[in-house]
Amino acid sequence: MSTQRAEQVAEVLWELKKLQRYATLTAIARRAGFSPGNQLRTILSCMATVQKDWPHLESWRAIHDSGIVAKNSSQATALQAQGIELRDDGETWNVVLDESLMVVWDVSLAGAAIPVVAAK
């Protein structure tokens, strides 16, 4: 059963899919209207619900704030399939992603959240 937060995260992931871009977990949580939580626990819980309830959404577009991806994970496979470079860091992969592919949302304009693709 999905929560309102998970539904909001699903909407943000749909937006990322349409833009063909990526965002950090913290940026996604804030765009969805809530704090990512201590050590990202809140957003990670929402992401687990989204992956279960909406498996068609490209949840792999949500990049951990640390830039780390677990080896042999479905996220690593999906990112590599998109041509995203992953550097071996021993136990994990580091995502090497051009800033132009990341989305940040500017909420300074009368409360409107406008996607802004980061410049190179």
Which CATH number covers residue 81?
1.10.10.10
Structural domain that includes position 11: 4-117
Question: Residue 104: its pLDDT value, please?
Answer: 85
Range in 34-48, 77-91, 105-119 with the lowest mean pLDDT: 105-119
Mean pLDDT value across residues 8-14: 96
**Whole-structure pTM value:** 0.85
Q: Which residues contact 2 (CB under 8 A, 6 or more apart)?
A: 10, 49, 50, 53
Question: Residue 115: its pLDDT value, please?
Answer: 47
Split into its structural domains, the chain has a count of 1
